[in-house]
Amino acid sequence: MMDNEAGTPALSPGPSTGTPPGAGASQTLSEQIFERMGELSPAERKVARALLASYPSAGLASAAALAKVAGTSSPTVLRLVSRLGIGSYPDFQERLREEITSHMNSPVSRTERARPSMDGGGLLAHAVSDRIALLDSVPESVPPSEFDRAVAVLAARPKHVAISGGYFTRYLAMLLASQLDQAIANVDYIAEPLSHDIGKYLQLSIGSVAVIFDIRRYELTSSLAAQTAKAQGATVIVLTDQGLSPAVDHADIVLPVTVNGVPFDSMVGLVALIEALVEGVLAASGDRGIDRMKQWEESVRIARAFRVLNPLETDVATGTPVTPTDLKEEST
């Protein structure tokens, strides 16, 4: 059987019990979808992402409405439901309603709803605790198969890697570009992808990668940048929040992270994801990555040595010039 939208073979569904092979009966539908993300066709992954982004409410809408949100078709929605081992879409919705009822009536949920607000004296501890929870949620929100694909694509010696972000996420894009540049070649941070730096996107092609950050208050520039990169033949990776940026419509790989924070969205989950990506790429690059890091470190050492030996350096305490000889003697 073929997926009509993606042209890829459709895998056989799980057993009729609604539980995929190897999954425990206590798993929620969202957990089952998350675990099987790597098995899905590209079209089915769009439906899965839409479901997980607004779970469980997205699944309570009609199949046609869910398909519209996901940018696919009703048959694709039904194929995903079938893959979960559920006989029909109404049965799928009934499972969702049972999950909601069970969750709302659980002792944990009742306790959390009744928890008193934190007073000012415990604000720091409360803020740190919230961000630790965001870090803990990263492995639960980023499908392992999508993360592994992102690492593999970046470690496969791409022709060019263009990294861009939005109003706040540009700083995350700069961080990723700076760290990734130490592990692989041809990495560029793109400050203005659809303005002064449009040429960097137009030079992308098959074998290139575009990494785009975009979180809520989604920016049109990010979506257009993803569309441009895709049109050039590049593999598009989008790092976004749980609501999913419109840029995911043009993405090959989507890495969603929870960013809930007060008063602003928190970036701690995205920073952890960035560091995990760089770590994964370096490990996958093997000796080639280590050699590049050595070359990078040697270059930095040369630059620092030049700066230290600059004859214009002065002693902070006395204001007198410090010669290279003085610095050399001091270092010994």
- Pick from 57, 81, 104: which residue ends a domain? 104
* Cis bond before residue 9 (omega within 30° of 0): no
28 CB-contact burial (10 Å; exposed 0-12 / middle 13-18 / buried 19+):
middle
Lowest mean pLDDT segment, chosen from 10-14, 110-114, 223-227, 304-308 = 10-14
Q: So what's the pLDDT on residue 38?
A: 86
* CA distance linking residue 312 with residue 138, whole number of Å: 48
> Could you tell me the pLDDT band of residue 31, with boundaries at 50, 70 and 90?
confident
> Which residue, among 164, 144, 156, has the nearest Cα to 273 in the 3D structure?
144
Q: Are residues 269 and 311 in the same domain?
A: no
Q: So what's the pLDDT on residue 65?
A: 87
- Pick from 51, 77, 104: which residue ends a domain? 104
Residue 73 lies in a domain: yes
pLDDT value at 34 more than 60? yes
Residue 304 lies in a domain: yes
Q: Are residues 196 and 178 in the same domain?
A: yes
Residue 14 lies in a domain: no
* CA distance linking residue 30 with residue 37, whole number of Å: 11
Q: Are residues 80 and 64 in the same domain?
A: yes
Q: Are residues 228 and 161 in the same domain?
A: yes
Count of structural domains, the chain: 3
Residue 249: which residues within 8 A CB-CB, separation 6 or more?
71, 223, 226
> Which residue, among 24, 20, 30, has the nearest Cα to 99 in the 3D structure?
30
Question: For residue range 97-128, what is the model confidence (pLDDT) as tens digits?
Answer: 888 777 655 555 544 544 545 555 588 888 88
> Which residue, among 201, 187, 217, has the nearest Cα to 250 in the 3D structure?
201
Q: So what's the pLDDT on residue 279?
A: 94
Q: Are residues 191 and 270 in the same domain?
A: yes
* Mean pLDDT, residues 179-193: 91
Residue 321: which residues within 8 A CB-CB, separation 6 or more?
311, 312, 313, 314, 315
> Which residue, among 19, 68, 66, 13, has the nearest Cα to 41 in the 3D structure?
13
* Mean pLDDT, residues 285-302: 84
Bridge partner list, 214: 240
Q: Phi first, then psi: what are they for 105, rounded to 5°? A: -95, 0
The mean predicted confidence, pLDDT, of the chain is 80
> Could you tell me the pLDDT band of residue 172, with boundaries at 50, 70 and 90?
very high
Residue 309 lies in a domain: yes
Q: Are residues 200 and 252 in the same domain?
A: yes
* CA distance linking residue 101 with residue 106, whole number of Å: 9
Q: So what's the pLDDT on residue 245?
A: 86
Lowest mean pLDDT segment, chosen from 75-84, 219-228, 254-263 = 254-263
CATH code, 64 = 1.10.10.10
Q: So what's the pLDDT on residue 114?
A: 43
Q: So what's the pLDDT on residue 295?
A: 87
Q: So what's the pLDDT on residue 164?
A: 94
Residue 230 lies in a domain: yes
Q: Are residues 149 and 234 in the same domain?
A: yes
Lowest mean pLDDT segment, chosen from 46-55, 177-186, 315-324 = 315-324
CATH code, 190 = 3.40.50.10490
* Cis bond before residue 56 (omega within 30° of 0): yes
Residue 29 contacts residue 58 (beta carbons within 8 Å): no
What share of the chain has pLDDT > 70, as a percent?
77
Strands, sheet with 161-164, edge to edge from the N-terminal-most edge strand: 187-189, 161-164, 209-214, 235-241, 253-257
* Mean pLDDT, residues 235-248: 90
> Could you tell me the pLDDT band of residue 305, with boundaries at 50, 70 and 90?
low
> Could you tell me the pLDDT band of residue 320, with boundaries at 50, 70 and 90?
low
Residue 48 lies in a domain: yes
Q: Are residues 251 and 161 in the same domain?
A: yes
Q: Are residues 258 and 326 in the same domain?
A: no
* CA distance linking residue 58 with residue 33, whole number of Å: 14
Q: Are residues 226 and 90 in the same domain?
A: no
Q: Are residues 156 and 35 in the same domain?
A: no
Residue 261 lies in a domain: yes
Q: So what's the pLDDT on residue 218?
A: 86
Q: Does this model's pTM top 0.85?
A: no
| DSSP 8-state class, residue 143 | -
Q: Are residues 84 and 180 in the same domain?
A: no
Q: Which domain holds residue 206?
A: 139-285
Residue 20 lies in a domain: no
Question: For residue range 43-81, what is the model confidence (pLDDT) as tens digits?
Answer: 999 999 888 887 887 887 888 888 988 889 999 999 999
* Mean pLDDT, residues 199-207: 90
